[in-house]
Amino acid sequence: MNEITTVGVDLAKEVIVVCAGDAEGRTVFFRQFSFAGFAEWAANLPACLIGLEACSSAHHWARFLTQHGHTAKLMAAELVEPYRLSRGAKNDRNDAQAILSAVRQPNMRFVTVKSIDQQAMLAWHRSRAGYLEERKALLNRTRGLLAEFGLWLGRSSAVLRRQLPRLAEDERLPARFRPILTHVIEHLRQIDARIDECDVQIREHARHSEHARRLQTVLGIGNITASALIATIANPRDFRNGRQLSAWCGLVPRQRSSGGKARLGVITKRGDAYLRGLLTQGARSTMQAALKREPLRRSRLEHWIVALHDRAGYHKTLVAIANKHLRTVWAILAHNENYDPNAWRRHPRAAAMRLS
């Protein structure tokens, strides 16, 4: 058997399929394993390059393979897809072979493997987001059930929650229905308690992380966003500049340029939707503060925000602020420095303007 130098690993829900290749690029064999079987096989395999798609459990397996001397590389699924030989026949075997081909490419972009601490912190963020969605769904369902009995309380969740205790004892509602409202009240209290617990964990993480404390000095970035950024961005130096980080997060326009003519569309919305949502919320608070502040008391950034809002409108300004925030985040993390709102004064162009 030829010596194995490269392996493509396709991670499925119940099995793992590998495609092994030699130094000359030939496929040596395909093999299917259980999770335990793959761990045993990989632990006894001589050190080689192993590629995986960045999907569920991929970071765990990448850490495991690295501990056993292998070079584990994670790749985005969209970058692996072009290397699948048969576009019309997607299966585990073809996926493993595509991963094997993709990991060999010299210009392939890889995903940084997250540490256990980062994934543990992200689990709190994902749980918090899930509880928020669960609470929203519960309130919407309850609002719909009440509408079936002729009660319309509007779209405000706060109004609905205030009215629930009264409605649970309202004899105008069917006796068979009222216990449901009691259950809703109890469930909401449980969800609120879980969200509060997540908030405590996230605040503690943001308070004890030096990088997170630095990020919170940027207007519009609070403890939740700072914690999520630190837990998500494993190494800011993986990005060449702040614009690359913004593109990774989906906060840049989609391009369809040709023949030297630039055609920009809507933002790509690639990457982490949760992180992009937090940045957009922070951008909204930053914009509202700038619009409310008196013109003589506005900072240079706030003057820029107001001018852009008047010229481009609400939504484009929102994205532009989030983009700028993320570029600032990259500068703080990549250069390991504190946020300085007057850093622009040290730029050569600013110095030339002062001299002119």
What is the per-residue pLDDT across 228-277, written as a single tens digit (0 to 9) for each? 999 999 889 999 999 999 999 999 988 887 777 878 888 888 889 999 99
The pLDDT of residue 341 is: 80
Q: How far apart are CA 227 and CA 303, in angstroms?
A: 28
Q: Write out pLDDT tens, residues 13-53.
A: 899 999 999 988 888 999 999 999 999 999 999 999 999 99
Q: How far apart are CA 308 and CA 294, in angstroms?
A: 17
Q: Which two tokens stand for residue 302?
A: 């706030």
Query: First CA to last CA across the chain, in angstroms?
Result: 73
The pLDDT of residue 282 is: 96
The pLDDT of residue 356 is: 47
The pLDDT of residue 17 is: 96
What stretches of the chain show up as alpha helix (H) in DSSP?
A: 35-44, 58-67, 77-80, 92-103, 116-147, 157-167, 178-208, 210-215, 223-232, 242-248, 273-292, 300-312, 314-335, 348-355
Helix, strand or coil for residue 27?
Answer: strand
Q: How confident is the model at residue 90 (pLDDT cuts 50, 70, 90)?
A: confident
Q: How confident is the model at residue 348 (pLDDT cuts 50, 70, 90)?
A: low
Per-residue pLDDT averaged across 164-177, rounded? 93
Q: Which two tokens stand for residue 354?
A: 């002062």
